[in-house]
């Protein structure tokens, strides 16, 4: 089986035909799902840490290209303080400029009720709340303790419920914290359960600084799935130590069916110095299609989108697949 894949790859590289999709029957592994949801976080997580100002029209173009490539869940921007994250200061303009496609879930990150009010003002239908499993990271990132962040989250969730806005939840630092080091998986599980009980439709577990390994991810998932069903969990893996894809494989094995990624592998958190971007969408899609798992995403188009945004911001793609494939 692997011989066939390698030969196929050798025949098509470096043309843009390397989407080595295998059928379910071809796949030597039988217990994978048929479909996995990919949540594209590039326009928010990918660009929030960029030193250069990215023009609003480039952000909007990026989102439209991602949607055209088949992405159906995309994090567009964040309604946080522009004093804290100036890169997202054009949040309302971005949301207003989108020509929304009906079956696409456009998600905006929100830290508090003020952020929700701004999101509502531009007809945002889905928001993402973010909490941390580390006390120090919570303070650095949102200027409040974990308990205070839970109070803020409850207020946001109550208002969102009344307004009919869907809420996704994040837990950051699930494998480690840039300030505290190791994080107890039970703490991650408690916060995940809080978000689940409060009505988040999905809980994304963030390996914010990309220190997780298949071993630590398995330990975290083992604890979290005691309190939250695996089908409600997403994994958000940064790739600092090159462990994102193996971690995702462990997630798949443990029943996770939703994975966050960032086109071109861009990203990082302004309050987690040294952390690199998320797993690149094109690397994730390449792996999943190669396992016979569908994503609805066109690999060629996503690679072109990675080339587009990387050249717009003057960066090399942090993705093996995009480095391997030329732009057409
Ligand atoms: C949460 C705050 C706002 C608290 O910041 P604060 O300074 O404690 O807020 P405050 O309530 O004391 O208000 C201070 C000022 O901020 C304003 N303010 C208050 N709230 C808002 C708002 N929503 N939008 C716009 N402005 C706001 C407020 O109006 C006031 O304005 P002033 O009177 O001084 O002119 C701040 O800490 C903040 O914006 N933090 C965001 C940090 C951030 O965006 N980090 C990156 C995203 S998280 C991440 O990347 C991790 C993730 C999700 O990807 C998963 C993973 O990888 O782990």
Q: Does residue 8 have its Cβ closer than 6 Å to ligand 1? A: no
Q: Decide if 31 is inside a domain.
A: no
Residue 20: pLDDT above 80? Answer: no
- Sequence-distant (6+) residues with CB within 8 A of 156 are 110, 112, 113, 115, 116, 127, 129, 167
Give per-residue pLDDT as tens, 138-184. 999 999 999 999 999 999 999 999 999 999 999 999 999 999 999 99
Q: Decide if 313 contacts 277 (C-beta within 8 A).
A: no
- Sequence-distant (6+) residues with CB within 8 A of 215 are none
H-only helix segments in the chain: 2-12, 56-68, 91-97, 113-121, 135-142, 146-163, 185-197, 214-227, 244-253, 281-290, 299-313, 320-324
Q: Decide if 21 is inside a domain.
A: no
Q: Does residue 286 have its Cβ closer than 6 Å to ligand 1? A: no
Residue 11: pLDDT above 60? Answer: no
Query: Above 0.95 for ipTM, yes or no?
Result: yes
pLDDT at 325: 85
Q: Does residue 84 have its Cβ closer than 6 Å to ligand 1? A: yes
CA distances from 21 to 11, 16, 147, 256 (A): 14, 13, 46, 21
Protein residue with least CA distance to atom 16, ligand 1: 81
Q: Decide if 226 is inside a domain.
A: yes
Query: Which domain, by its residues, includes 233?
Result: 37-324
Give per-residue pLDDT as tens, 81-138. 999 999 999 999 999 999 999 999 999 999 999 999 999 999 999 999 999 999 999 9
Question: What is the 301 CA–ligand 1 centroid distance (Å)?
Answer: 34
Q: What would the DSSP string read from start to end of 137-201?
A: HHHHHHSS-HHHHHHHHHHHHHHHHHHT-EEEEEEE-SS-BTTTB---HHHHHHHHHHHHHTT-S
Question: What is the 110 CA–ligand 1 centroid distance (Å)?
Answer: 8
CATH code for the domain of 173? 3.20.20.70
Protein residue with least CA distance to atom 19, ligand 1: 81
Rounded Cα gap, residues 50 and 33, in angstroms: 35
Question: Quick one: which atom of ligand 1 is closest to the CA of 206?
Answer: 58
Q: Decide if 2 is inside a domain.
A: no
Q: Decide if 20 is inside a domain.
A: no
Rounded Cα gap, residues 83 and 77, in angstroms: 15
Question: What is the 127 CA–ligand 1 centroid distance (Å)?
Answer: 15
Average pLDDT of every residue of the chain: 92
Give per-residue pLDDT as tens, 234-270. 999 999 999 999 999 999 999 999 999 999 999 877 7
Nearest Cα neighbor of 262 from 288, 241, 244 is 244
Q: What would the DSSP string read from start to end of 104-115?
A: -EEEEEE-SHHH
Q: Decide if 313 is inside a domain.
A: yes
Token pair of 273 as six digits:
């110095």
Q: Decide if 8 is inside a domain.
A: no
pLDDT at 275: 82
By residue count, the chain amounts to 328
Q: Does residue 130 have its Cβ closer than 6 Å to ligand 1? A: yes
Q: Decide if 188 is inside a domain.
A: yes
Domain count, the chain: 1
Q: Does residue 310 have its Cβ closer than 6 Å to ligand 1? A: no
Report the catalytic residues: 269
Rounded Cα gap, residues 128 and 200, in angstroms: 9
Residue 18: pLDDT above 80? Answer: no
pTM assigned to the model: 0.93
């Amino acid at each position: 089986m692997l011989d066939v894949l390698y030969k196929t790859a050798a025949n098509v590289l470096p043309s843009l035909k390397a989407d080595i999709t295998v059928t379910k029957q071809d796949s030597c592994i039988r217990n994978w799902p048929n479909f996995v949801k990919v949540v594209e976080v590039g326009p928010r997580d990918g660009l929030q840490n960029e030193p250069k100002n990215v023009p609003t029209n480039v952000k909007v173009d990026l989102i439209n290209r991602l949607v055209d490539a088949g992405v159906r869940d995309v994090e567009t921007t964040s309604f946080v303080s522009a004093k804290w994250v100036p890169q997202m200061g054009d949040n309302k303009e971005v949301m207003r400029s989108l020509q929304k496609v009906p079956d696409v879930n456009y998600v905006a990150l929100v830290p508090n009720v003020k952020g929700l009010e701004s999101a509502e003002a531009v007809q945002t239908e889905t928001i993402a709340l973010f909490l941390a499993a580390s006390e120090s990271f919570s303070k650095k990132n949102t200027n409040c303790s974990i308990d205070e962040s839970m109070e803020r989250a409850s207020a946001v969730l109550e208002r969102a419920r009344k307004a009919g806005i869907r809420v996704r939840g994040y837990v950051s630092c699930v494998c480690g914290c840039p300030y505290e080091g190791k994080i107890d998986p039970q703490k991650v599980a408690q916060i995940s359960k809080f978000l689940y009980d409060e009505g988040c439709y999905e809980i994304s577990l963030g390996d914010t600084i990309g220190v997780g390994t298949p071993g630590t991810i398995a330990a975290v998932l083992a604890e979290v799935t005691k309190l939250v069903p695996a089908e409600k969990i997403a994994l958000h893996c940064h790739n600092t130590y090159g462990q994102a894809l193996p971690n995702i494989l462990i997630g798949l094995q443990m029943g996770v069916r939703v994975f966050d990624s960032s086109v071109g592998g861009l990203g990082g958190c302004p309050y987690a110095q040294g952390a690199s971007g998320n797993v690149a969408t094109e690397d994730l899609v390449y792996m999943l299609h190669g396992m016979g798992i569908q994503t609805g995403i066109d690999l060629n188009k996503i690679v072109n989108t990675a080339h587009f945004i990387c050249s717009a911001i003057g960066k090399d793609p942090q993705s093996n697949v995009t480095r391997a494939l030329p732009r057409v």
